[in-house]
């Protein structure tokens, strides 16, 4: 089994990168014009926003941390918008609408609603002082309605996206992540190891003689074995570990903060639990394991390939055993 190469960017990363660098580019003409006209204070605010946007975009590109980047982008965008409106007056209030709508694309709908309502409250004094009461109420209400509609749309899209992701990334039989889920997870794993320098290992699990189980007891019995196997693995691995069905009777466990010896202990524990459990008509079921620790500067494909070779070695040497991958 080989892993597909990690995708270059997730959809949320693309959104954050586009909004960060795009906003910086959009603000640049205003900053240049204001500085050229000696409007130093607002020009400085524009320049600070540009720098902030560029830093956030660079942070996303380097760390792929969309959660914190989204929060930072929201604070910089809403804070800068409110500051400009206070300084230049309500003639720039129209910037509040696209700025607030944009927040629903970079952070969760609920958090975006909170941030935008706080920004609306901050704008109330300048609206009331610069406009007639009826007009200021009208602007405030349109801001609220604007956020209400944006929240409804974003919340609905967020839920539909989660449902779709669940269908696409979940194995329908065992309700754990499938091969696609693993291929997406591997991006985060590689980034975490690169930043933290912690150990990370992979355990490939394959049920021994599974075809015989299907042939002798039927596919329904084979499905029950796989479901119980996933339950067994889930109960024995640590909360920080994750399990995926790669295909057929083959599974993969990502063991975080585990070197080769720690992962071997996890695999040995699983092997013994599987061998001693009751399965079909008291038939003994066994599994073989291949274990590999991620090495420095190793690609995902090379990492998984070493684990596959270790699994093949376990099968070749009699099955129902754990074999460790050789260092590349």
- 186 and 85 share a domain? no
CB 96 within 8 A of CB 119: yes
Whichever domain contains 233, its CATH number is 3.30.70.270
- 115 and 218 share a domain? no
Of the candidates 287, 205, 194, which has an alpha carbon nearest to the alpha carbon of residue 242?
205
- Domain containing residue 94: 11-168
Whether the model clears a pTM of 0.75, i.e. scores above it, the answer is no
Write out pLDDT tens, residues 198-227.
889 999 999 999 999 999 999 999 999 999
Average pLDDT in the 184-195 region? 78
249 carries an active-site annotation: yes
Whole-angstrom distance, CA of residue 14 vs CA of residue 60: 9
> How many domains does the structure of the chain reveal?
2
248 dihedral zone (left: phi>0; alpha: psi -120 to 50; beta): left
- 86 and 195 share a domain? no
Q: Which of 13, 162, 184, 249 is catalytic?
A: 249
- CB count within 10 Å of CB 208 equals 20
Does residue 270 sit within a domain?
A: yes
Consecutive H or E run containing 251? strand 250-256
For the chain, give the percent of residues with pLDDT over 90. 74
- 262 and 125 share a domain? no
CB 236 within 8 A of CB 271: no
- 151 and 34 share a domain? yes
Q: Going by C-beta distance under 8 Å and a sequence separation of 6 or more, which residues neighbour residue 265?
A: none
- 304 and 205 share a domain? yes
Query: Among 168, 197, 214, where does a domain finish?
Result: 168
Write out pLDDT tens, residues 46-79.
999 999 999 999 999 998 889 999 999 999 999 9
- Phi and psi at residue 205, to the nearest 5°: -120, 130
- 198 and 162 share a domain? no
Does residue 4 sit within a domain?
A: no
Does residue 117 sit within a domain?
A: yes
Does residue 29 sit within a domain?
A: yes
Write out pLDDT tens, residues 112-135.
999 999 999 999 999 999 999 999
- 163 and 234 share a domain? no
Does residue 228 sit within a domain?
A: yes
- 89 and 18 share a domain? yes
CB 123 within 8 A of CB 37: no
- 319 and 225 share a domain? yes
Does residue 156 sit within a domain?
A: yes
Half-sphere exposure of 62 (CA within 13 A, CB side): 8
- 164 and 198 share a domain? no
- 147 and 294 share a domain? no
Query: Among 120, 149, 168, where does a domain finish?
Result: 168
3-state SS assignment for residue 288 = strand
State the average pLDDT for the chain.
90
């Amino acid at each position: 089994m080989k892993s597909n190469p990690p995708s270059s960017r997730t959809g949320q990363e693309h959104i954050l990168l586009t909004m960060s660098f795009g906003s910086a580019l959009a603000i640049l003409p205003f900053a240049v014009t204001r500085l050229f006209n000696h409007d130093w204070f607002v020009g400085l605010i524009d320049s600070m926003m540009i720098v902030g946007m560029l830093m956030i975009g660079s942070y996303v590109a380097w760390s792929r941390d969309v959660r914190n980047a989204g929060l930072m982008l929201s604070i910089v965008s809403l804070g800068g918008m409110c500051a400009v409106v206070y300084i230049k007056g309500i003639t720039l209030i129209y910037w509040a609408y696209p700025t607030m709508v944009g927040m629903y694309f970079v952070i969760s709908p609920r958090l975006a609603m909170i941030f935008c309502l706080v920004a609306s409250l901050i704008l109330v004094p300048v609206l009331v002082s610069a406009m007639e009461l009826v007009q200021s109420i009208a602007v405030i209400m349109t801001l609220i309605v604007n956020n209400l509609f944006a929240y409804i749309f974003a919340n609905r899209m967020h839920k539909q996206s989660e449902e779709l992701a669940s269908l696409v990334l979940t194995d329908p039989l065992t309700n754990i992540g499938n091969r696609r889920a693993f291929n997406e997870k591997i991006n985060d794993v590689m980034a975490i190891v690169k930043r933290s320098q912690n150990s990370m290992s992979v355990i490939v699990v394959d049920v021994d003689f599974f075809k015989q189980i299907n042939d002798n007891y039927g596919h329904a019995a084979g499905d029950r074995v796989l479901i119980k196997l996933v339950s067994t693995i889930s109960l024995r691995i640590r909360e920080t570990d994750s399990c995926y069905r790669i295909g057929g009777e083959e599974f993969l466990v990502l063991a975080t903060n585990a070197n080769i010896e720690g992962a071997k202990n996890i695999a040995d524990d699983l092997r013994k639990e599987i061998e001693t459990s009751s399965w079909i008509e008291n038939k003994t079921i066994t599994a073989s394991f291949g274990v590999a620790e991620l090495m420095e500067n190793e690609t995902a494909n090379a990492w998984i390939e070493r684990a596959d070779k270790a699994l093949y070695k376990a099968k070749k040497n009699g099955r129902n055993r754990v074999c460790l991958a050789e260092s590349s």
